[in-house]
Amino acid sequence: MITPKNRNTWLAPCILLLFALQSTADAHSGTGSAGGFVSGFMHPLTGLDHIVAMVGVGLWGAFLGGRAMWMLPVVFPVVMAFGGAMGVLEMPLPGVEIGIALSGIVLGAMVAFAAKPPLWVAGIIVGIFAIFHGHAHGTELPESANAMTFAIGFVLSTGLLHLSGIAFGLLVKWPWGRIAVRAGGVLISLIGFGFLFKFL
Amino acid sequence: MNRVLRQRYRVRPSLIFFLTFILQSVAHAHLTVEGIGEVGSGVLHPLMTPVHVLILLALGLMLGQRVPFDLKTPLQILAPASAIALLATTTGKINGVYPPILIGLAMGIAILVALEVKICSMVCRLICAIAAIGIGLDSGLEMGTALMVGKTLAGTWISINIATSYTAICASHGAEKPWAKIGTRVIGSWIIAISLLVLAFSLRKTS
């Protein structure tokens, strides 16, 4: 239970975070999309294929329930960063665009068909797709980007997309919500097909 | 009485957030240290250096995860180690720490947080000492009078210890709540991801 005392304990770190993030955002506002917190934060939000996959991960995690709800959003950013590092270091990875499109299709289908594989299988599926997404982001990062603030914005943004997927996925507690979530899965899958066959 | 308390605490956060935004811009105008004083700029230094923030955050979360919660033992190492490292910068022979080392340190501690590894007291002290020395050696001043340098380093020392303690206390509150424990591990995974990306960036720049 959050008591007034606990609330006060959490308040100060929040304020410190405001101080810290605000200044980092300001420090690079003049560099446009090249660097800084803001451009890092906006980067995952500029591609629909990325957005649907991130939301799909959260959605599937919430749909699977239990440990999966937090395990998938923990696995995804770490593996994605690994893929991002590969992209930054210009290590080749074939079929990145196809992998990204497939991620939308597969993750959406998992939600749409209410698939509940073992947690380790779900982790591997999510991990494989995370590498493609990370690699795509990594190769697109400009030389002039401020690495630290860019990475903070980038990871925070990705995490928040997962969180929005989880929040939507929590509707499965209600019968109508279950239908809505599965319909969301269908939509994600369709968008994935759109990218695979170049409709979008 | 409860109603009065509720109203009191409802007003306070919004007021503090509002003040934070206003004061932030005031402070920002003097971020080059003039105007906020040496101690103030020393206090802000670790909080304005992203890699220091990551280390302090990861360290605080790691200490807060420990059951039973004990802040006294790590602080017995953190406080003197950071003081010695900060004092060592005044010799003029140390020009900061190689950034990938600090990033690797943040990543290492964050891995322990994300995996919720139960570490023994000795390892905990060792990690505290390494983190304190890393941040301390990276917080040196290039110029200034002895008094100015002393005040700034004192501010930094206060900031390192308070930021770590506060994060640890916050994380320890969450030790009883499942969602907060998960949140702590998620933050740990985010720190790993950030560190990985930054390491890759620094490798690309050096190659």
| Residue A14 resides in a domain | no
Q: Are A100 and A133 in contact (CB under 8 A)?
A: yes
B15 at interface of A, judged by CB pairs closer than 8 A: no
A151/B contact by beta carbon, under 8 A: yes
Residue pLDDT, tens place only, B184-201: 888 999 999 999 988 888
The whole-model pTM stands at 0.78
User: Quick one: average pLDDT of B167-175?
Assistant: 87
- Give the chain B residue nearest A87 (alpha carbons): B200
A11, part of any domain:
no
Higher per-residue pLDDT: A48 or A200? A48
Task: Answer yes or no: is A78 within a domain.
Answer: yes
Binning pLDDT at 50, 70 and 90, where does residue B157 land? very high
Contact B128, B202 (CB under 8 A): no
Helix (H/G/I), strand (E/B), else coil: A73: helix
Least Cα separation, residue A139 to chain B (angstroms) = 11
ipTM score assigned to the predicted complex: 0.76
* Within a domain: A135: yes
| Chain A interface, best mutation among B194, B195, B204, by max A CB count within 10 A | B194
Query: Burial of B34 by CB count in 10 Å (0-12 exposed, 13-18 middle, 19+ buried)?
Result: exposed
Q: Model confidence at B93, in pLDDT bands (50, 70, 90)?
A: confident
Identify whether A178 is part of a domain: yes
Confidence of residue B5 (pLDDT cuts 50, 70, 90): very low
Mean pLDDT of chain A: 81
Judged by a CB distance cut-off of 8 A, whether residue A174 touches chain B is: no
pLDDT the model gives residue B183: 86
Residue closest to B183 by CA, chosen among B47, B61, B13, B60: B61
Q: Is residue A17 part of a domain?
A: no
Q: Which domain holds residue A110?
A: 36-199
Cβ contacts of A140-146, under 8 Å, gap ≥ 24: A140/A43, A140/A87, A141/A43, A141/A84, A141/A87, A141/A88, A141/B201, A142/A33, A142/A34, A142/A35, A144/A31, A144/A34, A144/A35, A145/A34, A145/A35, A145/A36, A145/A39, A145/A40, A145/B201, A146/A27, A146/A28, A146/A31, A146/A35, A146/A36
Q: How many domains does chain A have?
A: 1
Interchain pair B194, A152: CB under 8 A: yes
Helix A68-88 with B178-206: angle, nearest 10 deg: 10
- What count of other Cβ atoms lies within 10 Å of the Cβ of residue B76? 12
Cβ contacts of A180 within 8 Å, gap of 6 or more: A171
Q: Label residue B4 by pLDDT band (50, 70, 90).
A: very low
| pLDDT tens figures, B59-82 | 999 999 988 888 898 999 999 999
- Label residue B21 by pLDDT band (50, 70, 90): very low
pLDDT of residue B168: 94
Q: Which of A1-15, B69-83, B106-120, B133-147 has the weakest average pLDDT?
A: A1-15
Q: Which pLDDT value is given to residue B34?
A: 62
> In B, which residues are within 8 Å of A70 by CB distance?
182, 185-186
The pLDDT tens digits for B39-50 are 888 898 888 888
